[in-house]
């Protein structure tokens, strides 16, 4: 990496940030595309987000990613925001514009591109989402924006699922999102669902943990996606595969949210070949063998 006086800087703000693999994504993309750009991390404490964003603009920083716990707080520091990111209430990518930064949510773009990569169609599909946190909210918005037939949103605390369902149904003026207590999963009718696991259950080192440990539930799946990427094969994925169905982890979602941000910052299009090479770099960085 050749850093010069002309090199543009991008980075990640959050706390903590030391574990992030975003530098591996963006610095490899810069290498592959020949961009004079470097990416690093910036630890920003809660309450310091506004001053960090102002400072980044003054320092001529090209763009920023935002991770926990700042994805909502940062919205007040933007001069513009993408409509879907505004509806979701979370921003993870800031793009430099006149006078400040515009906010986007490339997390959902990342999942959309992973699904596209794996040939999973959301339009007219029946979907089950496990969990009702920030990721589940974004993914529920994505499913409705892609005209899913219905979305069952399952969570132990049903109030959280109800709040997401109300927000998404109001935004799209329909009632396709159905909140449900996770204990009532047997009441979901029929089969052939796209099942998306959005909780942290099963994250390494708790590799054998799973939200629902019942073979009957996994018979409902046409395909499964776990947003966890470490381990590469979660217990959720194994249970889906035991039914003879395909299951995917969240590493491509992580990759493509970064690719989408990089494209916004540099006004370019990353090829499938370039994305695939960065994917291999990510696997190596994380010590993941699929």
119: left (phi over 0), alpha (psi -120 to 50) or beta: left
Give the DSSP H or E segment for 194: strand 193-197
250 assigned binding-site residue: yes
Residue 227 known to bind ligand: yes
Distance between CA atoms of residues 61 and 52, nearest Å: 11
Tell me: is residue 131 an annotated ligand-binding position: yes
- Is 197 labelled a binding residue? no
40: number of Cβ within 10 Å = 14
Relative to beta strand 177-181, strand 63-66 is unpaired
The annotation status of 229 as a binding-site residue, yes or no, is: yes
Please tell me whether 20 is known to bind a ligand. yes
CA distance 84 to 142: 9
Selected catalytic residue, list 35, 71, 176, 252: 71
155 carries a ligand binding annotation = yes
Three-state SS at 271: coil
Residues facing 63 on adjacent strands: 10, 95
Report whether 157 belongs to an annotated binding site: yes
232 annotated ligand binder? no
| 22 annotated ligand binder | yes
Among 84, 134, 87, 81, which Cα is nearest to 109's? 84
134 belongs to an annotated ligand binding site: yes
Query: How many whole angstroms separate alpha carbon 153 and alpha carbon 165?
Result: 8
159 annotated to bind ligand: yes
SS3 label, residue 217: helix
Catalytic residue flag (residue 71):
yes
Binding annotation for shikimate: 20-22, 67, 92, 107, 229, 257
Tell me the binding residues for NADP(+).
Answer: 131-135, 155-160, 227, 250
**Binding-site positions:** 20-22, 67, 92, 107, 131-135, 155-160, 227, 229, 250, 257
Active site residues: 71
């Amino acid at each position: 990496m050749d850093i010069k006086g002309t090199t543009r800087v991008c980075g990640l703000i959050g706390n903590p940030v030391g574990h992030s693999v975003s530098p591996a994504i963006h610095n490899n993309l810069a290498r592959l595309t020949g961009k004079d750009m470097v990416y690093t991390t910036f630890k920003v404490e809660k309450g310091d987000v506004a001053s960090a964003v102002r400072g980044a603009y003054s320092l001529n920083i090209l763009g920023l990613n935002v991770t926990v716990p700042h994805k909502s707080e940062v919205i007040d520091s933007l001069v513009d925001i993408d409509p879907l990111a505004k509806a979701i209430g979370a921003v993870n990518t800031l793009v430099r514009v006149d006078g400040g930064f515009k906010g986007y949510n490339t997390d959902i773009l990342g999942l959309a591109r992973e699904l596209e990569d794996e040939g999973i169609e959301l339009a007219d599909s029946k979907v089950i989402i496990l969990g009702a946190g920030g990721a589940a909210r974004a993914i529920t918005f994505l499913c409705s924006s892609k005209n899913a037939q219905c979305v069952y949103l399952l969570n132990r605390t049903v109030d959280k699922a109800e709040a997401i369902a109300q927000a998404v149904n109001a935004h799209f003026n329909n009632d396709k999102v159905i909140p449900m207590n996770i204990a009532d999963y047997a009441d979901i009718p029929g089969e052939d669902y796209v099942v998306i696991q959005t909780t942290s259950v099963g994250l390494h080192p708790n590799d054998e943990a799973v939200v629902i440990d019942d073979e009957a539930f996994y018979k409902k799946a046409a395909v499964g996606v776990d947003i966890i990427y470490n381990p590469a094969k979660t217990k959720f994925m194994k249970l889906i595969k035991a039914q003879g169905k395909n299951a995917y982890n969240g590493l491509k979602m992580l990759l493509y949210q970064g690719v989408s941000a990089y494209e916004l910052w540099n006004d370019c299009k990353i090829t499938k070949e370039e994305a695939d090479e960065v994917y291999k770099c990510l696997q190596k960085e994380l010590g993941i063998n699929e």
